[in-house]
Structure formats: structure tokens, C-alpha cells
Amino acid sequence: MTTLNIPQGEFGQIRLFAVNRPIDAMARELGSSDKTHVIADLLGFDAAPNTAELFAVSDLTGVGLPRYLSDGYTVTDAQIARDRVRLDALDGYILLLFSSAFGGAKTTLEIGPDLTLIGTYGEEQSAMTAPPLTAEAAQPYSGVPNMTPSTPPRGRAGGAMILLAMLVAAGLILWWLL
């Protein structure tokens, strides 16, 4: 068993696992069971929807796993370069486990013999260049709520609508009588 310690507040990390089950057995299992159940069986816990991905490497034919990680998840070329040989050699099924699976909580994960950790990759984060907003007006709930409902139009606009409705009604009556 492999023990993984996930720190509290982790964000933007992707753990890539090779699935150590025969390809045909995985295909049968995925064909007869829901993918979320298969992922839960592999991980030993129920991962929330969209926090893990399970697929065959052959699904990436023409793209390849390194490009899938760099284009799909903005993993940097430097991170991919250090594991390129391992990534290109993968066959069968792989599991991507995202930080969001842990909900920001500190977690100890026991990985069984069905999974082999290939690597942990961080998604490239954009640099924040704007200074923080410190004005009192920028603080949450600092505005004055507007509790007065808007009033309907009055005067000439309201009278014109009534006159138009009366003319249409009179026209319909005349048409019906003729």
C-alpha cells in the first residue's frame, strides 16, 4: 500500500495513476458498472462527480497523454518533460485524481495495489497583478439595499394604453357585427 498525504487547502493538483488491472477486465467492469463506482473501488472512497477521470490511454490516440495534460489541464512543459518517458510508456487505463476530490481538507489516502502513482502535476495558475481592493465600499455587504419597488408608469403612458385597448375592443365588436 502507498500512503499519500494531501495537505489542507490543496488546490490545482492532478495525481496521475496507472491502473494495474487487465485492460479487458477494466473494459468489462466499465461496461457493466457505473464509472463512479469503478473509481470508488479503485480509490477506496467515493470521489465527488468531476473530481476524478478514468479512461483508456488508447482514447488519446493522435493526441497522447503529455499533450492531453498540457492542453487540457495547463500542466507546464517542464513538469511533463521530467516524466515524459513514463507518460509515453503508459498503456491500459489511467486515473486522474484532482485536488477538488478532497474538498480542501487534510487527507491521508491509502492506495492499494490496483493503482500506481505516476506523478503529481500542478496546473499552471495565472499571475494576479491587480492590487487587493481595500476600500470600504469594496467590502461585502457594505452597500445600502434598495427595498423600494419600482412604480408602474402613470400619466400619458398609462392613459394611452387604456385608449389603445378601448379602440381594439371597439374594432373587434364592429368586425363581429358586420
Q: How many CB atoms are located within 10 Å of the residue 126 CB?
A: 6
Tens digits of residue pLDDT in 97-133? 999 998 888 989 888 899 999 999 988 766 667 777 7
Tens digits of residue pLDDT in 15-37? 999 999 999 999 999 999 999 99
Domain boundaries, the chain: 2-122
* Contact (CB, 8 A) for 57 and 93: yes
What cell numbers appear for 87 in the block?
A: 507518460
* Contact (CB, 8 A) for 12 and 125: yes
pTM of the model: 0.68
